[in-house]
Amino acid sequence: MIRFSHVSKEYAKTGPALQDVSFQLGKGEFAFLTGPSGAGKSTILKLLYLEERPSRGEIRVAGLTASSIRGNGVAALRRRLGIVFQDFRLLEDRTAEQNVAFALEVTGARPETIGPKVSRLLTQVGLSSKSNALPRELSGGEQQRVAIARALANDPVVLLADEPTGNLDERATRGVFQLLRDINAAGTAVLMATHDLDLVRRANLRTLEVNRGQLVFDTADGGEGRAGEGA
Amino acid sequence: MRLAFREALDAFRRAPVLSALSITTIAFSLFAFGLFGLVALNIRNALQQVEDRVEIRAFVIDGTGAEAVSAALGDIGAFPEVATVRYVSQFDALARARRELGEFSDVFEEGILPASIEVRLKPGLRDPATVRGISRRIETYDFIDDVRFGEEWVEKLYRLRNIATIAGIALGTVFAIVAVIIIGSTIRMAVLARAREISIMRLVGATDGFIRAPFLIEGFLKGTLGGILALGLAWVTTAILGRFVIVTEFFSPGLALTGILAGALIGLLGSAFSVGRHLSRA
Ligand SMILES: Nc1ncnc2c1ncn2[C@@H]1O[C@H](COP(=O)(O)OP(=O)(O)OP(=O)(O)O)[C@@H](O)[C@H]1O
Ligand SMILES: [Mg+2]
């Protein structure tokens, strides 16, 4: 699903952010991405959804070579991904329902399919009763559920989540995390960057740890050291 | 597509003043263009009528022999520019003057009007330069006294038409540039106002074309409205002129449509230009 091969990234302004990072995430797999602030977690996710381009190395996502995609290939790749952020990124002047429908409308879904699909997605994230609420009328956890429903709109094969529970209290965190687990159980690979070490420890799932731009730990390797290509 | 239209219409609602301003400048651009275009059009029509009547009249010195005149008629008739050539004797000239002047016919006496050679040129060859050229050649016969061809006002009309055309193009272009700039800044504001929406569209995989479409439609609609407004203004102007000053010809349907399309094109170009620059930064 995801393969980083010797990927490095240097930002023009701040210099190296990732150095020679290699790892793989299989189909339907779940992995945490952890590490201190500024380690490069968000950068790894940005490279996956083509917000940024690698300086060196090759990235494959969902069957496409992300590092060499141009033009409308970017849009095509993003339709195979779901992306969720700490700050939800909902449109404030639209209801939960409209926010989810938006993702379908702008990717050219057939109009008559949108309504049923939106209500199915909102049911899936447990928000069918609040479909007409505006974001400001929803709690943080509920807003994140709307964002997740939107991320699922185009039936992604990979869900990328950048600190999806960063703004949530513990209860909401557990709810959203469980939702991501359910989504993963249904076959979608999930890569989730997080600071929440408690959550990581309790979950006992594969964890990739980055520090200063390097992959320093991968539980799939069974311990310390850099993740090899065959991981 | 329906969504893109809805968003384009939303843009009007969001920035009504700027939208009205861009439509108005497009309208003025085309109006300036169209007004001078109408002037040129009407002068051209006037010229056509004048040209149809353009005639070179060469007065023959009294007592010139008939053979000399008929030889000259043959020569002149053979010029490629010449359609007809005709000899008007003193008698013919008098008869014509009497006919044309009716009750004043008595003032003319036999012999007071000179005989002349009248030359008409072929259509399309009645412009001042050709007329003057032919006149010069006819003047070289030594039995020709004087050559007249209403030179001055044909030339004046021609000059007027050229001025109208140039003024229309210059003024129209200036307004068109202003229109493109104003449309550009409207689009910039619209892109900024929707920056969040656009970034989410990108994130969920909307194509660039899809993101651009509403802005292009917005520009196209504004341009079309501007074109229609300009046509309306021109029509009102023509109607007022027709009522109080002079009845003039209006654009043909084809030309009117071309004007509206020109507006649409200005709007489209203005937004395409701006959307390309600003979307990449949104
Ligand atoms: N757009 C950018 N331009 C320049 N430098 C950047 C940019 N984004 C990130 N960086 C730099 O790259 C490094 C890694 O940043 P990144 O956002 O990937 O860290 P992170 O692991 O997500 O941190 P956090 O846990 O705080 O979110 C940082 O040093 C940061 O300053
Ligand atoms: Mg980050």
- pLDDT confidence of residue B65: 82
Residue with CA nearest ligand 1 atom 27: A37
Q: Are A172 and A140 within 8 A, CB to CB?
A: yes
- Average of per-residue pLDDT across A62-74: 86
For residue B189, report the distance from its CA to the centre of ligand 1, in Å. Answer: 29
Sorted by sequence, the CB contacts under 8 Å of residue B7 that are 6+ apart come out as B214
Of residues B272, B263, B251, the one with CA closest to residue B176: B263
Of residues B87, B32, B79, the one with CA closest to residue B60: B87
Helix, strand or coil for residue A231?
coil
The most confident of the ranges A157-166, B160-169, B233-242 is: A157-166
Q: Which residues of B touch A150 (CB under 8 A)?
A: 204
- pLDDT confidence of residue B110: 61
Question: Where does the pLDDT of residue A27 fall: very low under 50, low under 70, confident under 90, or very high at 90 and above?
Answer: very high
Residues for chain A: how many in total?
A: 231
Q: B212: number of CA atoms within 13 Å, CB side?
A: 19
Residue B200 has pLDDT above 80, yes or no: yes
CA angle B58, B64, B67 (to 5 degrees): 95
Strands B144-148 and A64-65: unpaired
Residue B1 has pLDDT above 70, yes or no: no
- Average of per-residue pLDDT across A155-181: 95
- Average of per-residue pLDDT across A103-132: 94
Interface of A with B in 135-164 (CB under 8 A): 150-151, 153-154
Chain centroid to CA A189: 9
- Shortest CB distance from A107 goes to which of B196, B199, B205? B205
- Average of per-residue pLDDT across B153-175: 78
Question: Where does the pLDDT of residue A213 fall: very low under 50, low under 70, confident under 90, or very high at 90 and above?
Answer: very high
C-alpha A149/C-alpha B261 separation (Å) is 44
Q: Which residues of B touch A76 (CB under 8 A)?
A: 205
State yes or no: ipTM above 0.90.
no
Closest chain A residue to the Cα of B199, Cα to Cα? A89
CA B246 to chain A, closest CA, distance in angstroms equals 56
CA A75 to chain B, closest CA, distance in angstroms equals 4
pLDDT in tens, A124-138: 999 999 999 999 999
CA angle A59, A63, A69 (to 5 degrees): 55
Residue A231 has pLDDT above 70, yes or no: no
Nearest atom in ligand 1 to the alpha carbon of residue A35 is 21
C-alpha B27/C-alpha B233 separation (Å) is 8
CATH 3.40.50.300 assigned to B55-148? no
Closest chain B residue to the Cα of A90, Cα to Cα? B200
Q: Do A72 and B200 touch (CB under 8 A)?
A: no
CA distances from B198 to B39, B202, B208, B214, B220 (A): 47, 6, 10, 11, 20
Whether A102 contacts chain B with CB within 8 A: yes
Residue A229 has pLDDT above 80, yes or no: no
- Average of per-residue pLDDT across B145-151: 79
- Output A36 or B53, whichever has higher pLDDT: A36
Nearest atom in ligand 1 to the alpha carbon of residue A36 is 25
- Output B132 or A43, whichever has higher pLDDT: A43
Q: Are A182 and A157 within 8 A, CB to CB?
A: no
- Output A188 or B253, whichever has higher pLDDT: A188
Q: Percent of chain A at pLDDT above 90?
A: 86
Q: What is the CA radius of gyration of chain A?
A: 17
Q: Do B200 and A76 touch (CB under 8 A)?
A: no
Q: Which residues of A touch B3 (CB under 8 A)?
A: 105-106
Show the ligand 1 pocket: residues with CB < 6 angstroms. A 11, 13-14, 17, 35, 37-43
For residue A190, report the distance from its CA to the centre of ligand 2, in Å. Answer: 16
- Give me the residue spans of the domains in chain B: 2-49+158-281, 55-148
